Amino acid sequence: LDTPQPMQDLIGDLTGSPRPVVIRLFGDNWNQLVTLAPKVADAIGKVRGLAEVQDGLNIAGDAVEIKVDRIKAALEGITPAAVTRQLDTYLSGTVTTHVLQGQQVVGVRVWVAPQDRDSLRRIEALRLRAADGHLLPLSRIATLKLITGQPQITRYDLKPMVAVSARIEGRGFGNALGDVKRVLARPGLLPPGVYYTLGGLYQQQQIAFRGLAMVFAAAAALVFLALLFLYERFRVALAIMAAPLLAASAVFFGLWISGQTLNITALMGLTMILGIVTEVGVFYFSELQLLRGAGMAFREALIQAGENRLRPIAMTTLAAALALLPLALGIGQGSAMQQPLAIAIIAGLAVQMPLVLVLVPVLYALLARREAG
């Protein structure tokens, strides 16, 4: 029996965020967050494409609530802080010394015997030491109550937090998350003092977006510097760089036409288009330099270079597009992850030939005329 897992869930498992949609609710009042989390989970559960919505409330085991009567404690000469400190030693223990066991230093924890803390009655009988040295049972200054089913208190950046999470089925991540944001923006859903941040796959995606944006900017700068070093003319480098930058805008149009969202793999394709189109532009200018070196006039050389490079550019463009077509159509197992990458590259290749053979010569001619004038 094969039960395939959605690709986004696999990516989430690898990035440490098993659920793609994670809404972190923050507030100063923990009880308010406990009440609000199911309401938020119910609201986003109506968004199309979201499944297995969880309110993030993890019920812990039984808890013992100890309330110290400050007046009785003051009469006994003991402060609530001293009560807390002594109970912590009794119930959790304190490392008082260390011993050497082999080559490892092991701490020695001292606390009361298990049989003296295994029931509510025996905890009440624990004896505390007041400031003047006399002993008193805990029950004399405090009341103990057993509480069942308490939600675990989670903190994020030292702030109380509840994480409402969900999986995505049958819908794009970006579209589903956009609807989630609109639901959370409804008036009255989040009370004053409560705010949210998005985690999970969205947080990982934003970090990757910023990194890839820096990579794209650095790649564009390096390519431009390489063109300046190669041709030693600003107008040549500027004319060639215009083609990949405009081809990059075609990538966004291609993603919109195909219904794909801008994700990490699409940004990778955008960066690859920068190098692919620049390489074709270099091919064109290499031919132009050969013709100019042979004595051909500037205008005729611009046209003839395009004619000479038309077939090689068309064949390389067509071959690359056909090779990526199965991925762009989503054919084959695991192609969903690479589909935006293929669509981004094909969209850039679709405008590569007119940009290199038409726009680049025209722009270069205009820049040359302006420099000559």
From CA 265, how far away is CA 252, in angstroms rounded? 13
Cα–Cα separations (whole angstroms), residue 348 to 147, 209, 261, 278, 312: 63, 19, 16, 12, 17
What's the pLDDT at 109? 87
Within the chain, all domains assigned CATH 1.20.1640.10 are found at: 233-372
Please check the confidence at residue 6 and state whether its pLDDT lies above 50. Answer: no
What's the pLDDT at 112? 86
What's the pLDDT at 71? 92
The hierarchical CATH code for the domain 63-147 is: 3.30.2090.10
pTM: 0.55
Among the residue ranges 9-18, 34-43, 191-200, 362-371, the one predicted with the least confidence is 9-18
User: Which residue shows structure tokens 């190098």?
Assistant: 275
Instruction: Work out whether strand 63-68 and strand 159-168 pair parallel, antiparallel, or are unpaired.
Output: unpaired
Phi-psi region of 133 (alpha: psi -120 to 50; beta: other; left: phi over 0): left
Please check the confidence at residue 261 and state whether its pLDDT lies above 80. Answer: no
What's the pLDDT at 328? 86
Report the share of the chain in percent with pLDDT over 70: 91
Give tens-digit pLDDT for 30-59. Answer: 888 888 888 999 988 888 888 888 888 877
What's the pLDDT at 13? 47
Is domain 7-58+152-202 classified as CATH 3.30.70.1440? yes
Give tens-digit pLDDT for 206-238. Answer: 777 788 888 888 988 999 999 888 888 888 889
- Amino acid symbol at 107: G
Mean pLDDT on 184-195: 88
Task: Find residue 34's DSSP bridge partners.
Answer: none
From CA 160, how far away is CA 154, in angstroms rounded? 6
Give tens-digit pLDDT for 102-150. Answer: 888 888 988 888 888 888 888 889 999 999 999 999 999 999 888 777 6
Query: Residue 184, Cβ neighbours under 10 Å: how many?
Result: 18
Mean pLDDT on 344-362: 90
Cα–Cα separations (whole angstroms), residue 226 to 37, 109, 368: 54, 66, 20
DSSP 8-state symbol, 152? P
Within the chain, all domains assigned CATH 3.30.2090.10 are found at: 63-147
Please check the confidence at residue 197 and state whether its pLDDT lies above 50. Answer: yes
Better-predicted residue by pLDDT, 33 or 169: 33
With the C-alpha atoms ordered 11, 12, 18, 21, is the resulting torsion angle positive or negative?
negative
Q: Dmax of the chain from CA atoms?
A: 110
From CA 61, how far away is CA 148, in angstroms rounded? 7
CA triple 38-39-42, angle to 5 deg: 85
What's the pLDDT at 55? 84
- Burial-class residue 290 by CB neighbours within 10 Å (0-12, 13-18, 19+): middle
- The secondary structure of 306-359 as a DSSP string is HHHHHHHHHHHHHHHHHHHHHHHTT-STTHHHHHHHHHHHHHHHHTHHHIIIII
State the CATH class of domain 233-372.
mainly alpha
Please check the confidence at residue 2 and state whether its pLDDT lies above 60. Answer: no
